[in-house]
Structure 1
Amino acid sequence: MANIDSITLDVADPTAAERFYTAAFGLDKQLRLRASEAPTTGFRGFTLSLTVAQPSTVNSLIDSAIEAGATSLKPVTKSLWGYGGVVQAPDGTIWKVATSAKKDTGPATRQIGEIVLLLGVEDMTASKRFYVGQGLAVGKSFGSKYVEFAADSSSVKLALYKRRALAKDAGVSPDGTGSHRLMIGGDAGTFTDPDGFAWEATASAAAS
């Protein structure tokens, strides 16, 4: 089964971005940063989601992100599915922090349960078929709306969402051009998917 080892964000200032992600979310090994001035405007076609155990952890991480310089796109709120909010990092990356729990069951922490990379796609059927062909196994599938791939040993879980729906969920316009400013690293190999998202083989893939 193919897995994701890391994600690399292309940012204008890696030092500043590292400072932000350490202060905001405490991320280190799963997230890599690379200097880039690749042209990009509007929605970049993806979001990153941090799933946590309870509402107080959502509050802690969202508050830390805003204090570190993030912009609130969707304030933290309760919904039918749980509790969460969306922010945009200073480098432009959109992050959602959410939990399916509606009440706290213990002291507040900053522990992250899962990191989910959601790619906005134009043709769900074609993208799903493409990724299955690259060795990823489907974990959940809801017709043409959402596909989530199994991630037994991945640092990051991969999911596909219709581009317009993903932008709406993030609270932004779906319009955007230029670079995604994203590189996905894993053992599936080096390729570019139907929506222009690039993958590279990581050192762990080469070792295996």
Structure 2
Amino acid sequence: MNNITAHAGIDAIVLEVSDPEAATAFYDAAFGLGDRLRVRATEAPTTGFRGFVLSLVVAQPSTVDNLVGTAVATGATIVKPAKKSFWGYGGVLRAPDGTLWKIATSAKKDTAPANRDIDSFVLLLGVDNVKHTKQFYVDRGLAVAKSFGSKYVEFDTPSESIKLALYGRRAAAKDAGVAPEGTGSHRIAVAGSLGVFADPDGFEWESTTA
């Protein structure tokens, strides 16, 4: 393992959008993620599922409802309404720029006053071959925190960084409530300290300072 990158994480997600000013206004109002989420202009064509979902993990259902409510009031549309399930409570939104967001908690009941606190920010990549892509990132120095065969992988990253997880593309799309088909640009870049490269599914990584 490369000791330089063993504890590297994702510092920021860069969304490529057609209207950066509008996207910035939306995300500041909806989620307040600060420098962890950036936008830049693009006209790269894209259709259908872009192959990723951004997930905000929170502590309780009222926080899910709070974030969902603000996002919808600011222009997001609901893909999957927030509801209880065997794993907890959550829903999926589509931002005005087309990005899919999952807001979820493992809790089924509130245990504290309502708030907007976000516990984890997760980049979930829907990939063609989970085992192959897992090995690609392991070779670049990431340690595996959780792995369920060819179905799901979560990497061990610093607590303050954005988490990285892998899911099969069809499974990721199903979980988000959309069809798996899609073409064109992913319209996302990942900024961190792993280096500058494209992974097996074409997701672009760049230096945090880029």
Q: Do both share a fold (TM > 0.5)?
A: yes
Residues 15-164 of structure 1: pairs in structure 2 closer than 5 A: 15-164=21-170
Partners of 2:29 and 2:193 in 1: how far apart? Answer: 30
Q: State the identity %.
A: 66
Partners of 1:124 and 1:96 in 2: how far apart? Answer: 20
Aligned to 1:170: 176
In the TM superposition, residue 154 of structure 1 has moved relative to its aligned partner by 4.6
Q: Give SS of 1:29's match.
A: helix
Unaligned runs of 5+ in 1: none
Q: Give SS of 1:53's match.
A: coil
Aligned to 1:186: 192
Name the CA shift for 1:135/1:154 in 2 (closer, same or farther; >3 Å).
Answer: farther
Partners of 1:154 and 1:111 in 2: how far apart? Answer: 14
Partners of 2:115 and 2:208 in 1: how far apart? Answer: 31
Instruction: For 1:67, give the aligned amino acid.
Output: A
Aligned residues: 204
Partners of 2:132 and 2:195 in 1: how far apart? Answer: 19
Q: Decide whether the 8 Å contact of 1:3 with 1:153 is kept in 2.
A: no
Q: Deviations over 1:9-53 (max 9, x none)?
A: 000111100111111111211001000010100000000000001
Compare 148-157 and 91-100 and name the one that shifted more.
148-157
Aligned to 2:3: none
Q: Decide whether the 8 Å contact of 1:5 with 1:156 is kept in 2.
A: yes
In the TM superposition, residue 68 of structure 1 has moved relative to its aligned partner by 0.5
Q: Decide whether the 8 Å contact of 1:71 with 1:89 is kept in 2.
A: yes
In the TM superposition, residue 153 of structure 1 has moved relative to its aligned partner by 4.5
Partners of 2:160 and 2:194 in 1: how far apart? Answer: 12
Partners of 2:23 and 2:69 in 1: how far apart? Answer: 17
Q: Decide whether the 8 Å contact of 1:183 with 1:200 is kept in 2.
A: yes
In the TM superposition, residue 87 of structure 1 has moved relative to its aligned partner by 0.3
Q: Deviations over 1:167-195 (max 9, x none)?
A: 00000000000000000011100000000
State the 4+ residue runs in structure 1 displaced beyond 4 angstroms. none
